[in-house]
Structure 1
Amino acid sequence: MQNRERDQMHEETKYVELLIGRIMRIGVIAAVVVLLIGLVLMLFQGGNYATGSQPHRFGTIFTGLLHGQADAVMMVGLFLLILTPVLRVVVSIYAFMVEHDRLYVWITTVVLVILAVAMVIGYFG
């Protein structure tokens, strides 16, 4: 019975590793596509991304998206790029839970909390 459980856990681990790889690829590709759309919009709108007037709050980014502003689209692309490794950390917590590796569940959870705190400080700071 233990061999069957070990094989099942191995299959689950393999699935999670493939899922993590897929998440990373999709996240990076989505971010690049959104950034390229923002770049094309900027070229057509004649904007200058180096002015420092980009939207930094979710509300202004969302409003800018509704108005088709290039800088808001590019901020969404950057946000996707930042969230991709964060999502990988979340999936890693699940993977370690499946493997019953409590130490790494705790370590990865601490990493996730640090990332969340850093994002909150960056947003409100």
Structure 2
Amino acid sequence: MSEKKKTTTAAEMVQVETIIGRILQVGVVLSAIVMGIGLVLLLATGDSGYAGDTVPLTMGAILLGSWQLKSYAIMMLGTYCLILTPVLRVVVSIYAFYKERDRLYVMITTLVLIILLIALLIGLTGK
């Protein structure tokens, strides 16, 4: 590999690492803000937005409850944002390994992504 190509690849990797760091920072801050809004709404109204022990368990119910400003649904939405943050990091890592032409790590990271998505699907559907 030529020296110029190595320098370009190194610069791209620094840029990708910066993007990954930003994704993690923004994801955590965004989820904290969303959960904080739900908590403030819960404390202000004293109501979770649901009767008894009922809670939103599916993504559809969480999104609908958030749209209806139900505090518990908003806090659950913040939790899902926090869960999806590292998943997005894995996606960016696949791109980074692809740019480095590291096929082994692309395959391993893709397998990790598939496992994460299957686990999320199982969690969302409850099956």
* C-alpha separation in 2, matches of 1:122 and 1:58: 10
* C-alpha separation in 2, matches of 1:31 and 1:75: 10
Match of 1:33 in 2: 33
Aligned pairs for 1:11-26 (under 5 A) are 11-26=11-26
Match of 1:8 in 2: 8
Cα displacement string for residues 65-84 of structure 1 (whole angstroms, at most 9, x for unaligned residues): 22110011101100000000
Asked if 1:102 corresponds to 2:108, the answer is no
Asked if 1:60 corresponds to 2:61, the answer is yes
> Between the two proteins, what is the percent identity of the paired residues?
47
Q: CA deviation at 1:11?
A: 0.4
Aligned pairs for 1:77-116 (under 5 A) are 77-116=78-117
Runs of 4+ in 1 over 6 A off after TM superposition: none
Look up the SS of the partner of 1:56 in the other structure: coil
Match of 1:117 in 2: 118
Q: CA deviation at 1:3?
A: 0.5
- Confirm or deny: 8 A CA contact 2:97 2:103 kept in the other structure: yes
Asked if 1:71 corresponds to 2:72, the answer is yes
Q: Using a 3 Å threshold, how does the CA distance of structure 1 residues 53 and 13 change in structure 2: closer, same or farther?
A: same
Q: CA deviation at 1:99?
A: 0.5
Q: Using a 3 Å threshold, how does the CA distance of structure 1 residues 118 and 16 change in structure 2: closer, same or farther?
A: same
TM-score (norm 1): 0.93
Q: CA deviation at 1:53?
A: 2.1
Structure 2 runs not aligned, ≥5 long: none
Q: Using a 3 Å threshold, how does the CA distance of structure 1 residues 39 and 3 change in structure 2: closer, same or farther?
A: same
Q: Using a 3 Å threshold, how does the CA distance of structure 1 residues 40 and 95 change in structure 2: closer, same or farther?
A: same
Look up the SS of the partner of 1:29 in the other structure: helix
